[in-house]
């Protein structure tokens, strides 16, 4: 596994990461980590690798775009001095283009998304032991669906940035594809974005597989 003993893993993103975590930093007690994939990642790491004493921290914030992450990066990432950072961002960057398309000043289009994500990775890599990029996803099996197609475009940007900088990549859309082969999207998320615990387990297992965790 890529995470070493006494490693500090910081996970940042939007509402999918947030999931009601404690403020200012979600850590320590399980309820402080929120009720989503971060909680599951922590629980699975602690049971599979108890001797590693891995410290998991949740600084996800509901509603965030990559623009918002950039605005709080110094206080919520750099200042906390993590060993590893996991970033999952992009769902709101896409969603606002569909539910609020006329509020153009709030839209984060592909060029800004790519440039900002790349900037955050470049700033962070020299300060940490490793970085994980998780693609955004849309729980919709039809790739021709307009929002799914746009989300795939942003997921493609994440893959390119990960390849460029040699970071760990978690393809969350691919992880959901296996489940969606037999389950209707509403079984996982009423809005195809905010998953139930089954969906969060899909994310947690995909993350753990990407970092080489076993057991």
Q: Tell me which residues are annotated as active site.
A: 15, 191, 194
Other Cβ atoms less than 10 A from the Cβ of 80: the count is 16
Residue 137 backbone phi and psi in degrees, to 5: -145, 165
φ/ψ (deg, to 5) at 165: -105, 0
Rounded distance between C-alpha atoms, residue 117 and residue 77, angstroms: 14
Q: For residue 132, report the phi and psi dihedrals to the nearest 5 degrees.
A: -115, 130
Contact 33, 61 (CB under 8 A): no
3-state SS assignment for residue 22: coil
């Amino acid at each position: 596994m890529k995470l070493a003993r006494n490693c500090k893993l910081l996970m940042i993103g939007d509402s999918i990461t947030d999931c009601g975590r404690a403020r200012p930093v979600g850590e320590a007690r399980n309820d402080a980590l929120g009720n989503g994939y971060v909680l599951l990642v922590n629980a699975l790491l602690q049971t599979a690798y108890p001797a590693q004493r891995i410290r998991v921290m949740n600084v996800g914030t509901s509603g965030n775009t990559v623009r918002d992450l950039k605005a709080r990066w110094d206080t919520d990432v750099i200042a906390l001095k993590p060993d590893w950072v996991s970033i999952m961002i992009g769902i709101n960057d896409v969603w606002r283009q569909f539910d609020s398309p006329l509020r153009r000043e709030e839209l984060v289009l592909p060029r800004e998304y790519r440039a900002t994500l790349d900037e955050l990775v470049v700033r962070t890599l020299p300060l940490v032991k490793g970085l994980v990029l998780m693609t955004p996803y849309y729980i919709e099996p039809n790739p021709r669906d307009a929002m799914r197609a746009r989300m795939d475009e942003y997921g493609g940007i994440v893959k390119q940035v990960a390849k460029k900088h040699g970071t760990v990549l978690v393809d969350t859309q691919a992880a959901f594809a296996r489940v969606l082969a037999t389950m209707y999207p509403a079984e996982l998320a009423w809005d195809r974005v905010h998953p139930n615990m089954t969906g969060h387990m899909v994310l947690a297992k995909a993350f753990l597989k990407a970092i080489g965790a076993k057991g």
